[in-house]
Structure 1
Amino acid sequence: MTPAQLLEEQRRRTLGALRAANLGVQDVWIRYFMMTGNVDEYDINAYLHGLIRLPVLDCYLIALAINELIDEQPPLPRAPTAPTSDPAPITAPNLALASECWRDCATTSADASRGLISRCGGVRSIRCRSEVLQV
């Protein structure tokens, strides 16, 4: 890709990040300005929509401002991986352990499987051999 094509791809992806995060150009401009940016809000809007080109440093600062604003947003709610009345989500380490427990339950007795399930923090039950085993 040529340098001009790379800059256009950066602009396009920067606009995509702005839209995906539901950010306003004014918020981006304020953050950009705090980073010593020197173009106005209208120029940022025009740049993001491909109407004007900006110096590489300004493009970098705009992208950095958007990324900082994205980092400050609260995380989106996660989908529950199983029906439960427990509000505690299954975290990534516990999910790996739960997968191990599920694999083990297929080769062990129901009582032994219950013991395995109790080690899987956040997991209250696992369907194993057509039976729902609960802690």
Structure 2
Amino acid sequence: MKRMIAGLMMLAAPVAAEEAVTTSYEGSFEDATFAVESAIVNQGLVIDYVSHVGDMLNRTGADVGSDIEIFKAADIFIFCSAVVSREVMEADPMNIAHCPYGIFVAEDADGVMIGRSTYPVGPMEAVADLLDTIIADAAGQ
């Protein structure tokens, strides 16, 4: 019984938000989104979807009782890599939880940034390396 209660308590525990790895971008939001799109395609990858998170937040702020502008603009590019995904999922099939991958471009009061989520140490470092390569290419580094 004690194990069951402990297990239930672990399920109910709050989960901390994932941290993000970000890189400043010297240029406009539009230039950054074009650079990210180009860098993804230059890796031979296909963008499955672009989520316009900034537009949604700005459009719905008043509807949820907020007048705070979180981002001037923010998009997330969603894609996958057959090669890297197979590698990390052969190492651990539960790495499916991290797929597809995303790179975001956001503009706030401090400027434009490009970033990604963090991943666990181990096989998922291959994904982090791929995304870091794409981000560095987009940021001109």
* TM-score for the superposition, normalised by structure 1: 0.26
Q: Structure 1 or 2: larger strand share?
A: 2
Q: Structure 1 or 2: larger helix share?
A: 1
- Whose RCO is larger (CA < 8 A, sep 6+)? 2
Larger Rg: 1
